[in-house]
Amino acid sequence: MFTERQWVIDILNPAAECIGFSDYKTCFSIAQIVILFGSCYKISRRRSGASFGRNIMTSVNGKTGRNDFCPCGSGRKYKTCCLPAKDRAFYLMKQQYLRQYRIRLKDPKDVEGIRSAGSLAVASLDYIAHHLAPEITTEYINSLIHDFITSQGATPAPLNYMGFPKSACTSVNEVVCHGIPGKRVLREGDIINVDVTPILNGYYADANKTFFIGSPGVDAEKIVSAARECLKRGIAMVKPGNTVGDIGWAIQEYAESLKCSVVREYTGHGVGYAFHEPPEIPHIGQRDTGIVLVPGMVFTIEPMINLGGPDLRLLDDNWTVLTVDRSLSAQFEQTVVVTDDGVETLTPYNLEEPLLSLIGGPAAP
Ligand code: MF3
Ligand code: CO
Ligand code: CO
């Protein structure tokens, strides 16, 4: 049986050795090793020296055009030199991740489709932000989102998903997630998470944001700021060669340093071809543990952070999740893709702007 990382080491170390490195960890990233892995067939055939390997290390960036000179320095076109090897390496990686983890790595064309669905998710959140105000109901938010998403030729994934009755989740104050839009009326000082998942041309993108209704109190500001920073720090860990555990670790470290707690029961998840795909992305964890991130992985990071304890209660509707201690809970979610050299957000809303921009309502003139 292969242990968690063993196959990576078994496959990639010989590839690294092939081009003059002691093991894959001494190379810059797994993405480059994957390229090297493919390239090493050619390398061994040509009996090139170590400088050949180093050329690849410094110049292969995944952005070389098919008709450009190959970055390996052979003087030939990329498409007739190392590109087929890179494609083959990706193909092998895809098979391995499917077999071992049931993870479906995405091709560039699929990432493009998820990116479009992601733009619509971000547009939906922007749109709803302008309509948030005290005294509206969560049902009204749902109807606006439903109409917005369907008017763009897309389908809201939550509607009828495992019996969920609405087109978005609206989670107010002590509601952690999966709040069902209904008669609840928003009040000045509330916080509300709106979670949207459009399906566009068959591709899913999943994103959410927590907004202030009117001006926030101290607690609301603290928990919303903490949750957003947790997402930022989680995303910052995403690059080839890092692990799922690194993401959870970064989030847990930060949340707990503020004496906030991280929800365990709900995690990020693979997404793109379906609403929820493997793997799970826990928002707690240890460095250097769990599945190794590789290019083409698409998943959400969506930490739910509580002001009090981490324990949850499920309401009788079988959806609404509350904090047991009724403390405030906030969440931010984005869909990301692991690239050859880092991460790209496919639902790219701004995680840096001033917190007060999260106050809903019409934009100032
Ligand atoms: N959008 C949620 C997530 O981030 C899932 C909601 S499931 C639903 O994974 F059925 F409540 F919509
Ligand atoms: Co999600
Ligand atoms: Co979501």
- CA neighbor of 312 nearest in space, from 296, 328, 325: 325
Domains with residue ranges and CATH for the chain? 6-101 (no CATH), 108-358 (3.90.230.10)
Q: How confident is the model at residue 22 (pLDDT cuts 50, 70, 90)?
A: low
Q: Is the pLDDT of residue 33 over 80?
A: no
Determine the atom of ligand 1 nearest the C-alpha atom of 302: 4
DSSP-assigned letters across all residues of 272-302: SSSSSEEEEE-SS--TT-SPBP-TT-EEEE-
- Band (pLDDT 50/70/90 cuts) for residue 90 is confident
Helix, strand, coil percent values for the chain (each to nearest 5): 40, 20, 45
Average pLDDT over residues 296-317: 98
pLDDT, position 252: 99
Q: Measure 270 CA to ligand 2 centroid, in angstroms.
A: 8
Q: What is the mean pLDDT of the segment spanning 331-356?
A: 95
The pLDDT of 261-284, averaged and rounded, is 98
Q: Please compute, for residue 184, the number of CA atoms within 13 A of its CA located in the half-sphere on the CB side.
A: 19
d(CA 190, CA 174): 10
Which ligand 1 atom lies nearest to the CA of residue 271?
9
As a dihedral over the C-alpha atoms of residue 114, residue 116, residue 120, residue 125, rounded to 10 degrees, the angle is: 60
Residue ID of nearest Cα to ligand 1 atom 3? 206
Between the CA of 194 and the centroid of ligand 3 the distance, in Å, is: 9
Which residue is associated with the tokens 């609206």? 170
CA 164 to ligand 2 center in whole angstroms: 14
Copy the structure tokens of residue 99: 């077999």
| Contacts (Cβ under 8 Å, ≥6 apart) of 28 | 57
C-alpha 270 chain-centroid distance: 8
- pLDDT for the residue 283: 98
Query: Comparing 30-44, 47-61, 100-114, which segment has the lowest mean pLDDT?
Result: 47-61
**Which residue's CA is the nearest one to ligand 1's atom 2?**
195
User: Is residue 266 predicted with pLDDT exceeding 90?
Assistant: yes
Of all protein residues, whose CA lies closest to atom 1 belonging to ligand 1?
Answer: 195
Task: Give the pLDDT of residue 292.
Answer: 87
Q: Is the pLDDT of residue 323 over 60?
A: yes
Q: Is the pLDDT of residue 196 over 70?
A: yes
Q: What percent of the chain has pLDDT over 90?
A: 68
Mean pLDDT, the chain, rounded, equals: 86
The answer to whether the CB of 190 is under 6 A from ligand 1 is: no
Residue recorded with tokens 């069902």: 180
Q: Assess whether the C-beta atom of 277 lies below 6 angstroms from ligand 1.
A: no
Q: Which of 40-44, 58-62, 340-344 has the lowest mean pLDDT?
A: 58-62
pLDDT digits (tens, 9 = 90+) for 153-194: 999 999 999 999 999 999 999 999 999 999 999 999 999 999
Q: Is the CB of 178 under 6 A from ligand 1?
A: yes
pLDDT bin (cut points 50, 70, 90) of residue 125 is very high
